[in-house]
Structure 1
Amino acid sequence: MGSSQEILELVNLVSLDLSLNSGYGLELQKPNFANLVQKLSNLETLDLGHVSIRSTIPHNLANLSSLTFLSLHSCGLQGRIQSSLGNLSKLLHLDLSLNELLGELPVSIGNLHSLKKLDLSVNNLSGELPTSIQNLVSLEELDLSFNKLSGEFPWSIVIGNFTQLQSLDFTSNKFSGELHAFIGNLRSLEVLAIGRCNFSGRIPSSLRNLTQLITLDLSQNSYRGTMELDFLLVSLKNLEVLSLSSNWLSLLTKVTSNTTSQKFTVVGLRSCNLIEFLNFLKNQHHLMLLDLSSNRIHGKIPSWLLDPSTQNLSALNLSHNLFTGKLPSKSFLCWNAMKIVNTSDLKYLQDVISPKEWLLSDEVATYDYSLTMNNKGKIMTYDKVPDILTGIILSSNRFDGMIPTSIANLKRLQVLNLDNNNLQGHIPSCLGNLTNLESLDLSNNNFLGQIPQQLVELTFLEIFNVSDNYLTGPIPQGRQFSTFDNSSFESNSGLCGRPLSRECESDEDHSKGTEESLFSGAFDWKIILIGYAGGLVVGFVLGFKFSTGIVGWFLEKLRTQQKATRWKRR
């Protein structure tokens, strides 16, 4: 921080914002954080978001008695949240997200009576919430997501005291209990994101009263029973993000898009015992992310999902169903969001299709979602995967026929998973045009012929699987193909060359190679959608634990790309 000493001389400074320097690797060294706070005692606004501090929160921060805005997100803060923070009684905005803070919330947090926004997400906080939080009666946004907080969630406190609450997000914690029957009393709520929190029981009908709701994520809990989805869809006309994935629910609905919100961007209904496509999904022109995996939907993909009205779709997961027929070749010409590859076009696209209410902190907006993979029975999950990952996941269905060459139009595609179907013919060489592909799974089909040599041009390819087919000839060599092991090619009796022990007849044959496939046939990408419209993360939530192995590289890479999204209210 070259001019940091000069900043210390500005003793009358009331506002300091260094957050826009995140791309320059700004570090706070000399002076350190404690010295900065000591000298600039008149500060009312302090924003050091993305500035590398790498220290504990100094005790003397509590001396900034005039402070109304404090943002220290993504600063590498460590240790516990100091109880002395409770002395900042004028604070309206407190953001300590995306750090390495641990331990319990101090009781003194309840002294911040004027606080409107509290964001402690993505830390290692633990223990139960102190009852003193009932004093935060001015709260409009509360984000405790991705921590290790536990105990029964204090619904009575939240519903009884936080009457102005607009955004409530505590996704991925260890809370327990049931969703309170009076949740519908929070009439100003726009974001309710409480996925992966061990909640059980039934989903209360009072949710229909939350008519301002934009994001509803109840995924990966233990809600049970048959749920008439109509009461939500008809009442919640502003809903854009809906995720009920991975509960013990059976969803029923008869409504169409004519009687529901037509603003959906994210829909996640994985493992909801569906037997057919839901009518309300028709004519959802803003739909970007759709997950209907692990249901019992049968027949062909409906034609309306394959027409130009779905051009904004960037991630589709229909895996583990009973779909039949050919792959949707016409859709590969329509899905424009999977075609755009340069940053300027991507930004334009997102400006067009993202809700105006969401103002994200980064120049190029990102949507956070998470990802689950199943590697031979071992579940691996990762939270907050950025939206640069676009994918088509049609694995474990009954699709037949050949891979249409029109798929080569989807140049932004990074994940293509077609394993465990009845696909036939040759692996098309045009897959080599999908130069952004990082994982390709064509395993457990009926492909024959050689692996196209053009696949060597996929220099980002890290996961590849063509096992259990009828492929023959030499395996392509060089570049990414030198990193794949036997499991990517096994159960193809006609293949030869490294990494297999079976040698080809000549070096000349060895150079004729072709094709590939990605993901180990055992991999099952599951995109689970969650969105929050008030961190406003739009996303697919999945999890955080993963084991070492073939996907470790990918998850670690995505971890470094993780970005915090921010929402500026109207």
Structure 2
Amino acid sequence: MHPLCHAAERSALLQFKESFIINNSTCRFVRHYLPPVASWTLENSSCCSWDGVDCDKKSGHVIGLELINSCLYGSINSSSSLFQLVHLQLLDLSYNNFNFSQIPSSIGNLSKLQYLRLFDSFFAGQIPSEISQLSKLSSLDLSCNSYPSSCSVLGLVSFDPSSKRLLELKRPHFESLVQNLTNLEELSLSLVNIPYPVPSLLANMSSLSFLILTSCGLLGELPTNIFQLPNAEFLHLVQNPGLIGNLPDFNRTSHLNYLNVMGTGMSGEIPASIGNLGSLEQLSLSFNNFSGLVPPSIGSNGFAGPIPCDLMNLTRLTTLNLESNKFQGPIPSSISRLKNLMNLDLSFNNLSGTMELDSLHVLKNLTTLGLSFNKLSLLDKINSSASFPNLTMLSLASCNLSEFPQYLQNLDRLMYVDLSYNNIRGLVPQWFLETSKETLLILDLSHNFLTGFDQSPLVLPWVWKRFYNWSGYWTHSEH
């Protein structure tokens, strides 16, 4: 049962819709797609039931507006009826085209906002100081407003360095923007032009867990306390060559699971205490000025030759991670003896040969499987009833796949799927859109030869719609 809709807010939403061109030609990605605002009509007077609109169950006020990839095209200014929705707590306008508009200063009217996401929507100009008045914000994402649009998932990789940054942070500067945002948990400003130092006050934001500052033109010394924030989990500061500093000593209480400072001007020795980061899953320190020895606590190596068959005698193993080495030759068929394996990652080696995934289906306990970026050719002949029932993470990038693996359709726990850099052609099948609908968080289908969907979805079906990468090698302008 939806709450009653306030007439003034219904009118404001309809005025907002009417201020844009909305049709298939204005969609950023999927064509033949019915955008959420299609349900916004006078005939359907209950605005709380409209797609993309969330209302408070007691008061009936509109508190959430999620219009991701809603085919909105046109300019927006401070007189927009959007800013009459003063009860909004969440506003997400990502993946639209606001035609190089400035972010309106009236954004400051939305004083209850906790989530503001304007990712990759062709906003331009100076970020308004009024955002600094939104003291309840816990998530702020202004990333990837560039021309041409150049970001992939999360704005982390594969952006075009020649792209023009559309947004800038000069007046107000970085520090004045965030000084009142003491509740921030997520801050993402990739490709915003910020030719200033990272403010030291960021290192005092104890709630900050997620920081992305890709290619911002940052200058000066990075406060080392940034790396020691008590709740920091995800730090991505790549492609800022003017950013200097050293890595600090890390303690065992750190929650960091992702650290990337590639392409910055950081220097000094890599501290041995980096081995204290027990939660770390990804680490990139490349293209910097670090000196000295790589500490053995990282566990760096460059093993080469075939995968030793003696490993297959360790039948109690639960994790086998040989990624990012120089192993070559086929994957030993005797790997099927490791029936207790939960995590298997052989990615980023020189493994070769043709492999049927049938040879791995006996590993019933697998939750993680990574075979990406080898020289393998995978054959999908697996009996779907015998596939990996507990799999949550699957990485098969660059495995010479020519179609969507059929066994995926019976998996209902997947959180991460990477099928990028393959030779998958044609339409995304309808059955694939039913895969792990309640759990999938990250999906990468980029760099294939896809042409669309077997049946165009009204909206992407996965409950946790956060980071999906459809870019790269779609034909007929479908991406």
Aligned counterpart for 1:236 among listed residues 274, 277, 297: 277
Please say which of residues 118-127 and 90-99 is displaced more in the overlay: 118-127
Aligned twin of 2:426: none
Name the TM-score, length of structure 1 as normaliser. Answer: 0.48
Determine whether 1:342 maps to 2:350. Answer: no
SS in 1 for 2:194: strand
Shift of 1:31: 8.3
Aligned twin of 1:52: 71
Is the contact made by 1:14 and 1:43 (CA closer than 8 Å) also made in structure 2?
A: no
CA distance in 1 between counterparts of 2:409 and 2:139 reads 28
Q: Which amino acid aligns with 1:142?
A: L
SS in 1 for 2:219: strand
Aligned twin of 1:150: 195
Is the contact made by 1:125 and 1:149 (CA closer than 8 Å) also made in structure 2?
A: no
Q: CA RMSD in A?
A: 4.9
Aligned twin of 1:529: none
Determine whether 1:120 maps to 2:142. Answer: yes
- 1:220-242 Cα offsets, whole Å, 9 max, x none, are 212234424x421x211111222
Shift of 1:332: 5.4
- 1:464-502 Cα offsets, whole Å, 9 max, x none, are xxxxxxxxxxxxxxxxxxxxxxxxxxxxxxxxxxxxxxx
Shift of 1:137: 0.7
Aligned counterpart for 2:263 among listed residues 211, 217, 220: 220
1:411-422 mapped onto 2 (5 Å cutoff):
none
CA distance in 2 between counterparts of 1:91 and 1:559 reads 39
Aligned counterpart for 1:75 among listed residues 96, 106, 113: 96
How has the CA–CA distance of structure 1 residues 346 and 87 changed in structure 2, closer, same or farther, with 3 Å as cutoff? same
Aligned twin of 1:255: 297
How has the CA–CA distance of structure 1 residues 188 and 45 changed in structure 2, closer, same or farther, with 3 Å as cutoff? same
Structure possessing the higher relative contact order (Cα contacts under 8 Å, 6 or more residues apart)? 1
Shift of 1:126: 1.7
Aligned twin of 1:567: none
SS in 2 for 1:150: coil
CA distance in 2 between counterparts of 1:284 and 1:560 reads 44
Q: Which amino acid aligns with 1:221?
A: T
CA distance in 1 between counterparts of 2:191 and 2:320 reads 28
Determine whether 1:135 maps to 2:177. Answer: no
1:115-514 mapped onto 2 (5 Å cutoff):
115-123=137-145, 124-128=166-170, 129-130=173-174, 131-154=176-199, 156-160=200-204, 162-208=205-251, 211-228=254-271, 230-232=272-274, 234-250=275-291, 252-255=294-297, 276-277=302-303, 285=319, 301-302=326-327, 308=335, 312-313=345-346, 316=348, 328-329=351-352, 335=371, 337=396, 338=399, 341-342=403-404, 345=407, 351-352=413-414, 354=416, 386-389=444-447
Aligned counterpart for 1:89 among listed residues 91, 111, 119: 111
Shift of 1:246: 2.1
Shift of 1:167: 0.6
Q: Which runs of 5+ in 2 are unaligned?
A: 18-26, 48-52, 54-59, 146-165, 305-310, 312-316, 336-340, 358-370, 372-377, 379-395, 418-432, 451-463
Q: Which amino acid aligns with 1:48?
A: L
Is the contact made by 2:261 and 2:286 (CA closer than 8 Å) also made in structure 1?
A: yes
Aligned counterpart for 2:33 among listed residues 25, 28, 32: 25
Report which of the two structures shows the higher radius of gyration computed on alpha carbons: 1
Is the contact made by 1:217 and 1:244 (CA closer than 8 Å) also made in structure 2?
A: yes
Is the contact made by 1:65 and 1:88 (CA closer than 8 Å) also made in structure 2?
A: yes
- 1:34-78 Cα offsets, whole Å, 9 max, x none, are xx99xx994211111111111223423222111111111112123
Determine whether 1:64 maps to 2:85. Answer: yes
CA distance in 1 between counterparts of 2:282 and 2:197 reads 26
Is the contact made by 1:180 and 1:204 (CA closer than 8 Å) also made in structure 2?
A: no
Is the contact made by 2:64 and 2:88 (CA closer than 8 Å) also made in structure 1?
A: yes
Aligned twin of 2:420: none
CA distance in 1 between counterparts of 2:273 and 2:330 reads 24
Is the contact made by 2:220 and 2:243 (CA closer than 8 Å) also made in structure 1?
A: yes
How has the CA–CA distance of structure 1 residues 276 and 329 changed in structure 2, closer, same or farther, with 3 Å as cutoff? closer
SS in 2 for 1:151: coil
Q: Which runs of 5+ in 1 are unaligned?
A: 1-6, 258-273, 293-300, 319-326, 356-361, 369-385, 390-413, 415-435, 439-533, 540-553, 563-570
Aligned twin of 2:154: none
- 1:243-297 Cα offsets, whole Å, 9 max, x none, are 222223355132377xxxxxxxxxxxxxxxx88459xxx9995869x667xxxxx
Shift of 1:187: 0.7
Shift of 1:329: 3.9
